[in-house]
Chains A and B, each alone.
Chain A
Amino acid sequence: MLSRFSSPSLSLPLPFRHSLKPFSSLSLSPIQPNSSPPPSLSSSPPLFLRPLSHSTSLSSLLSFHHWAKAQALSVPSLSSDLLRQLSWFLQDTTSPHPSQPSTVLLRTELDNLYTLWRERVEQRKPFQYIVGCEHWRELVLVVQEGVLIPRPETEILVDLVQEVEGFGDGVWVDLGTGSGALAVAIGKLMDGESKGRVLGTDVSPVAVEVARFNVQRYGLEGKVEIRQGAWFEPLEDMKGKIAGIVSNPPYIPTSDLPGLQPEVGWYEPKLALDGGKDGIDHLLSICEGLSVALKPGGFFAFETNGDKQSELLANHLSTEYRSLFQKVKMVSDYSGIKRFVTGYRL
């Protein structure tokens, strides 16, 4: 809710509220995953972090590999990708035995490897949810169902932050932090001694738990703080003091959701994807709270759904908020799509 930050002269519409729709309401998804909340990280660690307490013979593992390869090749359009994922799957779940060459150590029972790979190929469960992690920039982030898997495009946002003069000394905010990717990456860039800090906010308790776990994994508890709440809601105390705001908010138009790639549409949280009718509802909401949150000269950078949205947003900021922001520009991603809108508060 942005009403906390609204100044009296601006009448703000209530942000588009959407509830987390249960999977079964999407007519095109044939799979009905269980709707109970995902397991907590402390009780059930992600697969790639589990101890190597199981084992199997090398020949059994080779049989699995043989079978898994055949499974991958059975989907010609995805086979190249799947083969690569298979080798990473084994990288994350197995290890050679230190002294017995014909034995392999596993992080889960061999039977489960079969089950998980079947889930990947037949049920299109995202690879990252299966192994429990996503390699992103130089980090390995824990992810699980209920949390958006960080996208490669978003990596560039960190580069844009790094280019801001004196960024290391200010308080930075990652709105809708999800797994905490941006928050952790920016926190890592900051010198331990500096005044710089990062605050990540997310409305989802699952995301908050995962983000905190990732912050802890990288030893950044002193630098990065995760607060639960929607957008600027938990940042009341930081009004006007924020040096920079980044966000990768949900930006997919609601009508596009059913047509998404199954790994995305059937498994990732709609809360992290749905941007309303044109996909820009959240982006616009954030823009409305921007000027009050940022300190003078503060920087912002947002990710959007591409050319159209970026142009709309950049235009919006340069006209509606002409007196508040400057140096508004669009930055392309490596596919040549205008992916980011950046600028400074006057």
Chain B
Amino acid sequence: MECPMTLPTKVGNVPLNFLSCSIGLNSSRFFSSTHLISASSSWSLCSLTYSFPEKNSSRHLVPVHSTSSSEAGVESNSETSEWAIQDFYALRKEVEATSERVKEIMASAGLEQLEAERDSLDKKSADSSLWDDPSKAQEIMVALTDVKDKIKTLKDFMTQIEEAETIVTLTEELESTDTSLLQEALTTIRRLNKGLNQYEMTQLLSGPYDKEGAVINISAGAGGTDAQDWADMLLRMYVRWGEKQRYKVKVTEKSLGEEAGIKSATIEVEGRYAYGYLSGEKGTHRIVRQSPFNSKGLRQTSFAGVEVMPLLPESTDLDIPEQDLEITTSRAGGSGGQNVNKVETAVRIVHIPTGVTVRCTEERSQLANKTKALIRLKAKLLVIAEEQRASEIKQIRGDAVKAEWGQQIRNYVFHPYKLVKDLRTSEETSNIAAVMEGELDPFIRAYLAHKFTTARSEASIV
């Protein structure tokens, strides 16, 4: 069903974040109208926010029989009374649509269950022996706040939709067009839809690390110089994407290929939810094109691997026993020590039980590289543990690790036709130039929705 209130894609000079999109019945219900995420909500995606100026909403509704405004401020012409009625019908339609949304969300959220959970946590928090175990206590307090917030949000949704519905009903029954009331209903509905969007987004991004920033590691795969150039193109793509989202993007490491391109690179994307959005980029990306590095200009296929880890703070609580780690540095100098002046002090850490490896080379001292590598290793292990539903690092299945991180996820064809296709969601576009410029949002959205539906169906089977 088309939303009649289509909003502009740009307000002033500020580009909207990628969450604004138009709807269609065939697309998932998650993004059912064009709206912006408000900056004021507690789930604000801070780098992506732009607060929607309320005054724009008066575009369609022109005050006609306004009882409060003065003559001077009111625009009136012979066509306005018709206009107002058309807009009322549009408003009513939107209220109905939003009401459906709220009903769905309330059904899937299980308000009763949440209230029961809150009551049980409340009881636990009142227990005098709670703070005997400070970390457990902290967990309980955080969970309690979270569930209380969620309940409040859901109840707010109900209040808001009831408000709007009441106004619509009143208008119908009283057969008057009090445009200031209708204005209020419109505002309420808009705010409500924004809230619903955000709620649905947080449902999708509910993994334990989704809120964090991200570290992307790109490495050239099979294909020689062409693959190295491809890796460089991916590097540019992700940097552009990050910049468009207004994240703080830093290329912390780049290892140049001999002839062209890069062997590997690491990008740090700082900002809320960067990991949630980028985690679906993990895997092998395949390019098909007429290679500029092939002497006969033949069509060539090359691969590059992308790894994504959350950008965890240094204080991350995870102790890995030293004997499980193999720490090495490059032996460039042969004898090392006093024989060599080494400015590069890269450190490579292998987690022996799982084979998970990290390398850090961008810091200026060996200890700093070691510390950072350890943090990245922990992040990687935590993510893998979460994916494998392992409750402890000890339980990670090492054999499954390699397979997961190497799966082919997306094809980018430049020749003989232009197409980018995601193998997991079937999302595709022929505008490959835009994709290489960082237009990844349709793919990210599709993957998040796909992840959610998969999880939902798994849960319902259980």
Q: Which residues of A contact B (CB under 8 A)?
A: 76, 79-81, 83-85, 88, 126-128, 135-139, 148-149, 151-155, 248, 250-252, 256, 260-261, 263-264, 268, 272-273, 303-306, 333-337, 339
Chain A residues, Cβ within 8 Å of B327: 334
**B337 in the interface (beta carbon within 8 A):** yes
Total inter-chain residue pairs, C-beta < 8 Å? 101
Binds A, one of B181-189, B338-346, B420-428: B338-346
Knowing A85-B343, A135-B364, A137-B367, say if A152 contacts B329 (CB, 8 Å).
yes
Instruction: With both chains docked as a complex, state the minimum distance between the C-beta of B351 and any C-beta of chain A, in angstroms.
Output: 16
Closest to B335 in A: A306
Instruction: With both chains docked as a complex, state the minimum distance between the C-beta of A113 and any C-beta of chain B, in angstroms.
Output: 18
A136 touches B365 (CB 8 A): yes
Knowing A273-B338, A303-B337, A306-B335, say if A84 contacts B366 (CB, 8 Å).
no
Chain B residues, Cβ within 8 Å of A136: 365, 367
In Å, the complex CA distance between A248 and B338 comes to 9
Known: A84-B362, A151-B338, A272-B338. 16 other contacts (CB 8 A): A79-B256, A80-B256, A81-B343, A81-B344, A84-B344, A138-B368, A151-B337, A151-B340, A152-B329, A152-B366, A155-B366, A264-B340, A303-B337, A335-B328, A336-B328, A336-B331
Knowing A305-B338, A333-B336, say if A137 contacts B365 (CB, 8 Å).
yes
B338 touches A261 (CB 8 A): no
Chain A residues, Cβ within 8 Å of B365: 135-139, 152, 155
Sampled A-B contacts (18; CB under 8 Å): A76-B258, A135-B363, A136-B365, A137-B365, A138-B368, A151-B340, A152-B365, A153-B336, A153-B337, A261-B333, A264-B341, A273-B338, A305-B335, A306-B336, A334-B328, A335-B331, A337-B331, A339-B337
**B86 in the interface (beta carbon within 8 A):** no
Chain A residues, Cβ within 8 Å of B256: 79-80, 83
Chain A residues, Cβ within 8 Å of B343: 81, 84-85, 88, 127-128
**B430 in the interface (beta carbon within 8 A):** no
Closest to A339 in B: B337
Q: Among residues 343 to 375 in chain B, which have CB atoms less than 8 Å away from a CB atom of chain A?
A: 343-345, 347, 362-368
Closest to B367 in A: A137
Chain B residues, Cβ within 8 Å of A261: 333, 339-341
Chain A residues, Cβ within 8 Å of B344: 80-81, 84
Knowing A334-B328, A335-B330, say if A264 contacts B367 (CB, 8 Å).
no
A155 touches B335 (CB 8 A): no
Instruction: With both chains docked as a complex, state the minimum distance between the C-beta of B349 and any C-beta of chain A, in angstroms.
Output: 10
Chain A residues, Cβ within 8 Å of B333: 261
A252 touches B331 (CB 8 A): no
**B interface residue count range (under 10 / 10 to 19 / 20 to 34 / 35 or more):** 20 to 34
Interface SS of B by simple majority: loop
In Å, the complex CA distance between A126 and B341 comes to 8
**B51 in the interface (beta carbon within 8 A):** no
B338 touches A337 (CB 8 A): no
Chain B residues, Cβ within 8 Å of A84: 343-344, 362
A155 touches B367 (CB 8 A): yes
**B255 in the interface (beta carbon within 8 A):** yes
Instruction: With both chains docked as a complex, state the minimum distance between the C-beta of B329 and any C-beta of chain A, in angstroms.
Output: 4
Instruction: With both chains docked as a complex, state the minimum distance between the C-beta of A341 and any C-beta of chain B, in angstroms.
Output: 13
A256 touches B329 (CB 8 A): no
A251 touches B336 (CB 8 A): no
Instruction: With both chains docked as a complex, state the minimum distance between the C-beta of B179 and any C-beta of chain A, in angstroms.
Output: 48
In Å, the complex CA distance between A127 and B345 comes to 14
In Å, the complex CA distance between A137 and B258 comes to 31
Closest to B330 in A: A335
Chain B residues, Cβ within 8 Å of A137: 365-368
Chain B residues, Cβ within 8 Å of A335: 328-331, 336
Chain B residues, Cβ within 8 Å of A80: 255-256, 344
Q: 9 closest pairs, A vs B, by CB?
A: A135-B364, A152-B366, A263-B341, A334-B329, A135-B365, A137-B367, A335-B331, A152-B345, A153-B337
Chain B residues, Cβ within 8 Å of A126: 341
Instruction: With both chains docked as a complex, state the minimum distance between the C-beta of B344 and any C-beta of chain A, in angstroms.
Output: 5
Chain B 237-258 near chain A by CB (<8 Å), digits 1 or 0: 0000000000000000001101
Closest to A138 in B: B367
Instruction: With both chains docked as a complex, state the minimum distance between the C-beta of B101 and any C-beta of chain A, in angstroms.
Output: 46
In Å, the complex CA distance between A149 and B335 comes to 16
In Å, the complex CA distance between A156 and B75 comes to 79
A152 touches B339 (CB 8 A): no
In Å, the complex CA distance between A261 and B332 comes to 12
In Å, the complex CA distance between A88 and B364 comes to 8
In Å, the complex CA distance between A336 and B334 comes to 11
Closest to B340 in A: A261
Instruction: With both chains docked as a complex, state the minimum distance between the C-beta of A332 and any C-beta of chain B, in angstroms.
Output: 10
Instruction: With both chains docked as a complex, state the minimum distance between the C-beta of B175 and any C-beta of chain A, in angstroms.
Output: 61
Q: Among residues 410 to 453 in chain B, which have CB atoms less than 8 Å away from a CB atom of chain A?
A: none
Instruction: With both chains docked as a complex, state the minimum distance between the C-beta of B374 and any C-beta of chain A, in angstroms.
Output: 13
In Å, the complex CA distance between A138 and B370 comes to 11
Closest to B347 in A: A334
Instruction: With both chains docked as a complex, state the minimum distance between the C-beta of B28 and any C-beta of chain A, in angstroms.
Output: 43
Which of A128, A135, A272 is packed against the most chain B CB atoms within 10 Å?
A135
Chain A residues, Cβ within 8 Å of B347: 334
In Å, the complex CA distance between A76 and B345 comes to 19
